[in-house]
Structure 1
Amino acid sequence: MNASSKEKTAPAAVKSADRTVMLLEVLAASPHAMTLTELQQALDVPKSSLYMLLQTLVARGWLSCDLRLGTYGIGVRALLVGTSYLDQDPVVQAAAQVISELRVRINETVHLARLDGGDVVYLASRESQHHLRVISRVGRRVPAYATSLGKALLAARSDAEVDALLPAKFVALTENTVRDRRALHRQLAEVRARGYAFEREENTPGLCCFAVALPHGLLAQDAISCSVPLARLDPEHEKQVLDGLFDAARAIGAGARRGV
């Protein structure tokens, strides 16, 4: 193949890869499986091309297909790739034992999350013995402005950098979710001053949450948090939670630097 032919085929190959990634992202973000028509409307891709792409991904196990309903969803191969990401990530590996010990120490739910654009993505969770929920948060994303995890990480950045990351409009998850940039900037200034983030029912009614950014790397990308029902929060327990978070953050940061 000559250079001219390569130049003509390269854009088509890139477009195909780009479509594949966009398709997987749309299905991953959807709360339900989607039909060919729904996917075509979401992606604005010719149906014939999209159909062939769907069949290829189904054959390779990246997507599942319900022939009865004509719908497509994420397949088991995508799960395997996601699991390998967690298995190979040095911060997740360094945090595994530490957050398990922290959960025992404070008997509250503990999370590890990473900033991804304007969201935080949960990488690991250890549920409190008080908690009955069985659905894991791992792999789920939440707007950074609505979580203590996100606030701890946004506070490591300038207000201009924060504004560049976040959407133009804030979507309220509860009636207490911060709704405008000025209010968020004030909250982040408070986080910088005290060294940890706190939110009260901004993400989930009845819960407050404390978070600390991990001291690893030049710019904080990861944070750990502890969720506490308001009914159990008092000054003594708050101190116990914060002491535990700071100790755990130092231990995880040290472990990640050692490659543990």
Structure 2
Amino acid sequence: MSPRETGDRPSSVKSSERTLKILETLAESQQRRSLSELARTLEVPKSSLHAILRTMRDRGWVDTDPSGTLFGLGVRALYVGTAYVDSDDVVAVTAETLDWLAAQLDETVHLGRLDGTDVVYLAKRESNHQLRMFSAVGRRLPAYTTALGKAVLAELPEESLTDHLPETLTALTPRTLADLDTLRRDLERTRRRGYAVDDQENTDGLGCIAVTLPSDGPPQDAISCSVPTVRLKREQRAVIARHLLEARERIAQRPRPSGSDAPDAGGQGIPR
């Protein structure tokens, strides 16, 4: 019988799924992983996994240590990640405004996107201060612990909120909102004032303010300004919030990228 008749997935589909899971697992790892570790994590036989890893290594998607026994992402993964950012409409539309925002505030500015339960940095502008946050484009953080994430979560329909929260809200710092009721109240405050605040909820000593970006579809993107708490006084927070709201309006009025097929919405949103 064919795979369709037996209800089994074709081997090519199974192999593709395993390849993607390997990439995702290696991307989440802080260090290289052994064949045994990967086989245990992915629940894949070592023999099958080794064959896939060998092909991925030959194509540059996976790299190994000198012994050939520990596996990590290869340079082709960087190529694809960079291509994603380079071709993203929102990154292009917001670039000039992010430059303006960073020049006005001289603090670290980010563009982030909600992806599952995480927020991912898509663009960054550095502060000139010696004391500033460390981050990198592509880094993922739990959405509920960040101003970027909370800005987007606050705009989601109530019925879809839990789809973007992990089963357990883990406290990353003593200030993390790790209780669902407390988080819901904070999201309500975010909706009322128009911007989200992260008060050392992801990283001790770091505060952040963020606003969502206008969109033709469900909200996904936000921009933020991150500041060490030694510089983030009440007056400075108000200045940052005002500039972020102005930046949002600037972005809403930016022309769409050339070649966009999305219908014009009168400058009210970014095509998704």
Q: TM-score higher than 0.5 here?
A: yes
User: 1 CA distance for matches of 2:53 and 2:178?
Assistant: 39
Tell me the CA shift for residue 132 of structure 1: 5.4
1:93-132 matched pairs, under 5 angstroms: 93-131=92-130
Contact 1:159 1:185 in 2 (8 A): no
**Match of 2:149?**
150
**Match of 2:243?**
244
- 2:247 maps to 1:258: no
* TM-score for the superposition, normalised by structure 1: 0.92
Amino acid at match of 1:161: S
Contact 2:116 2:163 in 1 (8 A): no
1:43-192 matched pairs, under 5 angstroms: 43-68=42-67, 70-131=69-130, 136-192=135-191
Contact 2:124 2:137 in 1 (8 A): yes
Tell me the CA shift for residue 215 of structure 1: 0.8
* TM-score for the superposition, normalised by structure 2: 0.88
Tell me the CA shift for residue 251 of structure 1: 2.2
Structure 1, unaligned stretches of length 5 or more?
Answer: none
Aligned Cα root-mean-square deviation (Å):
2.0
Query: CA 1:132/1:193 → structure 2, altered by over 3 Å: closer, same or farther?
Result: closer
After superposing the two structures, state which structure 1 stretch, 160-169 or 182-191, moved more: 160-169
Amino acid at match of 2:65: D
Contact 2:132 2:227 in 1 (8 A): no
Contact 1:32 1:73 in 2 (8 A): yes
User: 2 CA distance for matches of 1:102 and 1:249?
Assistant: 10
What percentage of residue pairs aligned between the two structures are identical? 47
The structure with the largest helix share of the pair is 1
Tell me the CA shift for residue 74 of structure 1: 0.3
**Match of 1:199?**
198
Structure 2, unaligned stretches of length 5 or more?
Answer: 259-272
User: 1 CA distance for matches of 2:253 and 2:166?
Assistant: 33
User: 2 CA distance for matches of 1:40 and 1:132?
Assistant: 42
Query: CA 1:162/1:247 → structure 2, altered by over 3 Å: closer, same or farther?
Result: same
User: 2 CA distance for matches of 1:5 and 1:220?
Assistant: 39
Query: CA 1:259/1:43 → structure 2, altered by over 3 Å: closer, same or farther?
Result: same
Residue correspondences, number:
257
**Match of 1:227?**
226
Tell me the CA shift for residue 228 of structure 1: 1.5
Contact 2:98 2:125 in 1 (8 A): yes
